[in-house]
């Protein structure tokens, strides 16, 4: 089983207008981390940069402008992926896992397209696994006790130690996501089912 845990840091929340500034991933095969990817990159030309986003990631406009070009990073990122998956084999893909996964998927798709690569889907199974949605299911009876459903808040609720000053660093966040998934998987039992088995066919 091949899984890739992914987290992106961006200059805003709209993949059509904002750009990527960090792409981090863990590649896991049969439960063992085989590789760690962590790339800083400059946002694409024309990307809107929100001050609020810079505050979140703890960077300045000058900081991100000095990062490697997005197209150069794309070449290296896909080269690394090809060490673990064949984009030409329909049976060989990575299962994408992330917290609020669709956010990262949408930014990565735009990044690939801007780099002239229309084969994003050649590397990953669809749909991705969204750990946030899984957490919402497992914690449904505890949801009212959480102040919000941000990754750090959920991790703390699950008993995972969180370094607040490290949040929103892509590599830290992706490792935290994997920890959250591990705890959720251990808690996911038949008793979590919303509909009792005897009523499921009604």
Structure confidence by residue, pLDDT tens digits, 61-78: 999 999 999 999 999 999
**Across-strand partners of 40?**
22
- pLDDT per residue as tens digits for the range 103-139: 999 999 999 999 999 999 999 999 999 999 999 999 9
Mean pLDDT of the chain: 94
**Across-strand partners of 29?**
2, 32
- pLDDT per residue as tens digits for the range 27-41: 999 999 999 999 999
Where residue 200 falls among pLDDT bands split at 50, 70, 90?
Answer: very low
Q: How far is CA 58 from CA 51, 62, 63, 125, in A?
A: 10, 12, 10, 32
């Amino acid at each position: 089983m091949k899984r890739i845990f992914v987290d992106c840091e961006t200059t805003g929340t709209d993949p059509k207008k904002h750009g990527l500034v960090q792409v981090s991933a863990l590649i896991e095969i049969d439960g063992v981390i085989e590789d760690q990817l962590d790339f800083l990159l400059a946002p694409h030309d024309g990307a809107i940069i929100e001050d609020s986003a810079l505050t979140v990631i703890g960077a300045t406009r000058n900081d991100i402008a000095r990062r490697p070009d997005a197209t150069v990073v794309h070449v290296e990122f896909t080269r690394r992926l090809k060490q673990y998956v064949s984009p030409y084999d329909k049976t060989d893909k990575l299962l994408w896992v992330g917290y609020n996964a669709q956010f990262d998927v949408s930014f990565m798709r735009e990044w690939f397209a801007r780099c002239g690569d229309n084969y994003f889907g050649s590397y990953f199974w669809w749909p991705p696994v969204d750990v946030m949605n899984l957490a919402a299911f497992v914690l449904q009876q505890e949801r009212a006790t959480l102040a919000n459903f941000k990754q750090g808040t959920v991790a703390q609720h699950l008993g995972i130690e969180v370094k607040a000053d490290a949040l929103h660093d892509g590599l830290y966040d992706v490792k935290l996501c994997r920890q959250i998934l591990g705890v959720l998987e251990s808690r996911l039992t038949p008793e979590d089912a919303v509909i009792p088995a005897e009523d499921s066919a009604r």
